[in-house]
Structure 1
């Protein structure tokens, strides 16, 4: 039996500085899918060879608390600094994972990948809502390069499935998890199809970043987010185009604790939100030491 689509969403523009961004989650109807309470999509942008690189210099620094951020880079180089002393770069196909925990300040920049020379930047940022007990833990960070993520070849030379987060067919992503979660990057060859078996009681969503597809026998456009029911069933993806198809499937177990979100903080009560702001203004999240961490 094929799963039912219960919501269809289109991201809205929510640009940040120089970056063109579409906010896919949340909205007034869909607050979360599994533990994911936020999704920004950065569409593909081509950068000329003589375009100046973006440097992390403090102008984009901002705090988080109560969540883990997961920046998945389809194309480009993501440069990360945070107030816990971390600095790293990940490249096309890799991800930056940062647990904000009790509070952290981070700063990021995206540039074309010097290893591919394709001039592109393209990617996503997810916010993973932490269980209450993990919101009280110290911040952490992990860069994950593309080669560290499991990539599973699909039958009939249809393409591949990359396990960005969670697991699939006993292949597990190195991205830490505090509740059941998954992000699958599926690439299908022209004219091919793939059927994903969805488990009972889990929340699933599918996003089509750059081209439309036929999902469970219905045609959908690019940049549409499909939210499915929680019954067990199949998610059938058909590539009816003459080029590669990218689909992002994500979700997990429902988040059962209260969700109170305000600005860059996601907590369980309004009092915890107030504390998060007070601690930030009192400097308890620390400071980024750019020159020292860049060495």
Structure 2
């Protein structure tokens, strides 16, 4: 049985210099999909200059951030001393835990001739018991992302978060969660079966796709019902398409979010701001970068 579509939306678009940012989640219809409470999509853009001193240091608490870069280069640094640089196809995960300040340089990929940048940032809500843990950081390069060729050479699937068959991401799981990047060749199709009560959504990047017999446009976020069933993806175009599929079990604890903090109560939000302004999150020191934690 195919899952029913709950709604679809294209989010809100803002411009940040040469970047077009599409705020996909939260949106008018929902604030979360499983543990995912935030999604910014950076549409493909040409960037001819490089950023070296960050795009604006800011704090986080109570979440893990996940940057997945389709094209480009992202350099991370934070107040816990973590640093790292990923290239096209790589990803970085940062557990903010009990408080951290971080920043990023988002540039074109110095290892290629392309000046295109294109990618995502997700926020993954942490269970209450993990919100008080110390910050952590992991960087994973493209060749270390679990990948599998689909049957009938239909394309491939990459496991960014969670598990799929015999593939497992190195990103820690604090609840049942998944984030897949699926590439489908022209004229091909692929289905994913999900269990009951699992929240799930898809996002289409630069091409249209047919999801459970209905066509959706590039840039659309599509959420599905929670009953067990499949999400069938068909590519009727003349070129390959990319589809992001993500979700997980429902986050049942209270959620209170404000600015860069996602906690379980308003009092915890107040504490998060107070601790930040009291300097308890530390400062970024670019002259004392720790060695990157890289999964190999």
Q: Do both share a fold (TM > 0.5)?
A: yes
* Maintained 8 Å contact 1:55/1:109: yes
Displacement, 1:9?
1.4
Displacement, 1:15?
3.7
Distance of 1:227 and 1:182 partners within structure 2: 14
Distance of 1:111 and 1:68 partners within structure 2: 22
Distance of 2:182 and 2:261 partners within structure 1: 30
Question: Which residue number corresponds to residue 22 of structure 1?
Answer: 22
**Backbone CA RMSD of aligned residues:** 1.3
Equivalent runs, 1:14-53 vs 2, <5 Å: 14-16=14-16, 19-47=19-47, 51-53=48-50
* Maintained 8 Å contact 1:148/1:174: no
Residues 1:97 and 1:160: Cα distance change in structure 2 (over 3 Å): same
Alignment partner for residue 51 of structure 2, among 38, 54, 57?
54
* Maintained 8 Å contact 2:66/2:93: yes
Question: Which residue number corresponds to residue 172 of structure 1?
Answer: 168
Give unpaired runs (5+ residues) of structure 2: 292-296
Question: Which residue number corresponds to residue 101 of structure 1?
Answer: 97
Q: 152-161 vs 192-201, which deviates more?
A: 192-201
Displacement, 1:225?
0.6
Deviations 1:245-278 (A, max 9, x none): 0000000010000000000000000000000000
2:273 aligned with 1:253, yes or no?
no
Question: Which residue number corresponds to residue 213 of structure 1?
Answer: 209
Describe the SS at the equivalent of 1:20: strand
* Maintained 8 Å contact 2:81/2:290: no
Describe the SS at the equivalent of 2:272: helix
Question: Which residue number corresponds to residue 8 of structure 1?
Answer: 8
Number of residue pairs matched by the alignment: 291
Question: Which residue number corresponds to residue 294 of structure 2?
Answer: none
* Maintained 8 Å contact 2:19/2:43: no
Distance of 2:99 and 2:167 partners within structure 1: 31
Name the TM-score, length of structure 1 as normaliser: 0.96
Equivalent runs, 1:109-258 vs 2, <5 Å: 109-258=105-254
Deviations 1:51-96 (A, max 9, x none): 2211134x51000000000000011100101000011100111111
Q: 21-30 vs 249-258, which deviates more?
A: 21-30
Describe the SS at the equivalent of 2:20: coil
* Maintained 8 Å contact 1:71/1:126: yes
Displacement, 1:18?
5.0
Describe the SS at the equivalent of 1:292: coil
Displacement, 1:200?
1.4
Deviations 1:88-139 (A, max 9, x none): 1001111110000000000012111122222211000000000000001011
2:253 aligned with 1:269, yes or no?
no
Describe the SS at the equivalent of 1:223: coil
Alignment partner for residue 285 of structure 1, among 281, 288, 292?
281
Give unpaired runs (5+ residues) of structure 1: none
Name the TM-score, length of structure 2 as normaliser: 0.95
* Maintained 8 Å contact 1:196/1:235: yes
